Amino acid sequence: MKRYDAIKAVSDAILQDGLAEALFLKGSIARGEDDDYSDVDLYVVVTEDNFDVFLTRRIDYLEQYRPLVNWVEVNFVGPQIVGIFDDALHFDLYAVKPDGIPQTGAMKALHDPNGMLADYQNKPLSLTNEELTRCINNFTYLLTEIEAAYMRGDLIRCFSLFAAEYDVVSLLIRHVYDPQNSLLGNKGMDKVIPLAIHEELLAILELATPSNVIVATKRLLKHFEKTLLQLPTEVQSAMNREFYELLSSRIYELELK
C-alpha cells in the first residue's frame, strides 16, 4: 500500500539525518480508519536548535519516496508541507517543537526514544457549546444571503450558499452521534450516523440542483430543526431563536420561480 511505503521511506530518511526527536502519525491512519484513498499526516518533533535546518530538508525527505508533482507550505499547527507525489498520494509533513505537540485526536507513535509522546492527551475533536452556538447563528445568517441570491435569480450563488449550510448541518449531526469527532464534519460520517439519517441527507442532496435549490434548502431546514432538539439545552438556549424564526419563515415562504 503506497501510503505505508511512503511513510517508511520518508521516516527512514528523517531518522537517518538525526534531527528528529520523535515521529508520529495523526488523522485516519492513527485512528485505524484509513483506506487506499487516505492521505498521510506525519508529524516530526524537532528541537529549537535543529528546527531551521530541518525545515530546509523537508522536500529532500519527501522525495525519498517518489518525486513531488506539487507542494505548498502552510502553517496550521506548525510549518507544514502539503505535497502530492507523482502517484497522486497526498502527504502532509508537519514540523513541531517539543512544546508545540498537538494534543487532539488519535496519535500513532513511530519513533519516540525519549518518551516525548508518553503523556499525549488525545483530546477529543469535539465542538464546544460556544462553537456549536456560533455554527447555528452563522447558519441563520446565511439564510439572509440565500434569500437575496434566490430573489435576484442568482442560482449559482444560491447553490454555493446551500452547500455551506449543508456543511453546518453535517457538523451538528456529527456532534449528536459522534461528539468526540464532531470537528470532522461529514468526513466518514456515513459510518457513525444512523442509516435513516444518512439516507435523508442523501435525499436532500439529490434535490439540490440549481433550479431546485430552494426546495432542498427547505428540506435541510426541517432536518436542521430536528437536529437542534438533540443538541445540549445550553446550546438551544444560547442560540438567537428570534433571528432564526424570522429568517427561516422567509425561506419557507419562497416559491419556485
The tens-digit pLDDT sequence of the chain (257 residues) is: 899 999 999 999 999 999 999 999 999 999 998 999 999 999 999 999 999 999 999 999 999 999 999 999 999 889 999 999 999 999 999 999 999 999 999 999 999 999 999 999 998 989 999 999 999 999 999 999 999 999 999 999 999 999 999 999 999 999 999 999 998 889 889 989 999 999 999 999 999 998 899 999 999 999 999 999 999 999 999 999 999 999 999 999 998 75
Give 246's contacts (C-beta < 8 A, 6+ positions apart): none
- Burial call 106-139: b when 16+ CB within 10 Å, e when fewer: bbbbbbeeeebbeeeeeeebbbeeeebbebbeeb
Domain ranges in the chain are 2-111, 129-253
Amino acid at 16: Q
The rounded distance, in Å, linking the Cα atoms of 93 and 78 is 10
Grid cell of 226 as nine digits: 430536528
Supply the pLDDT for residue 194. 96
pLDDT of residue 257: 59
What are the pLDDT digits (tens) for 21-35? 999 999 999 999 899
- Give the pLDDT confidence score for residue 118 in this predicted structure: 93
- Quickly tell me which residue has 442532496 as its cell: 205
Q: Which CATH superfamily is domain 129-253 in?
A: Nucleotidyltransferases  domain 2 (1.20.120.330)
pLDDT at 43: 98
pTM: predicted TM-score of the whole model, two decimal places:
0.83
Contacts of 208-211 with CB under 8 Å at 24 or more apart are: 208/159, 208/162, 208/163, 208/166, 210/155, 210/156, 210/158, 210/159, 211/155
H helical segments located in 153-256: 155-177, 195-207, 213-228, 233-238, 241-253
pLDDT tens digits, residue range 131-142?
A: 999 999 999 999
Q: Where are the alpha helices (DSSP H) in 84-191?
A: 129-152, 155-177
Homologous superfamily (CATH) for 2-111: Beta Polymerase, domain 2 (3.30.460.10)
Give the span between the Cα atoms of 232 and 222, in whole angstroms: 18
Instruction: Please report the sign of the dihedral spanned by the C-alpha atoms of residue 180, residue 184, residue 186, residue 190.
Output: negative
